[in-house]
Amino acid sequence: MNQVSIDNQRLPKGYTPRQQSGAFNNSMAQAMAAGDPRYQMKQYDRAGFSRGGAQTNQAGIKGAQDMANGIAAAYQGQIDDQQYNAMTDLNSQVSQERFGQALGGLQQQNAYADQMAMLQQMGALFGLLG
């Protein structure tokens, strides 16, 4: 009886999925900080001029834009990590399937060679008896 068995491990040895929680939380915190108008205000300061309402409004607009872009970047990083993990898992499964197919082919060839050897021995036996 021929039986093919391969290791049931789905991921390659030494592979650790990329963790996104720390990087995601850091990116979200940076985005929230960029959304604070006080964080944005300094770039609109001019020497010798006091801050006015227009500068505060512009800092608020810039803060909202930067916060939205930062949140989008944080989620994009999370998606990229998930895609990387999924592709690594898929490539591992493809490799295991190829390995299993190759083993099955080798065992099939081995079984065929055994059958042919048995037929040849039977032919030689019949030749001696006949």
Residue 6 lies in a domain: no
Q: Which of 85, 99, 69 lies closest to 19, judged by CA?
A: 85
Structural domain boundaries enclosing 58 = 21-105
Residue 31 lies in a domain: yes
Residues 80-128: tens digit of each pLDDT = 888 998 899 899 999 989 998 999 899 999 999 999 999 988 888 777 7
Residue 3 lies in a domain: no
Residues 32-88: tens digit of each pLDDT = 999 888 888 888 777 777 777 888 888 899 999 999 999 999 999 888 888 998 899
Residue 116 lies in a domain: no
Local structure of 16: helix, strand or coil: coil
Q: Could you tell me the pLDDT band of residue 9, with boundaries at 50, 70 and 90? A: low
Residue 54 lies in a domain: yes
Residue 5 lies in a domain: no
Residue 49 lies in a domain: yes
Residue 122 lies in a domain: no
pTM of the model: 0.59
How does 110-120 read in b/e, with b if 16+ C-beta sit within 10 Å? eeeeeeeeeee
Q: Count of domains in the chain?
A: 1
d(CA 14, CA 72): 31
d(CA 53, CA 30): 25
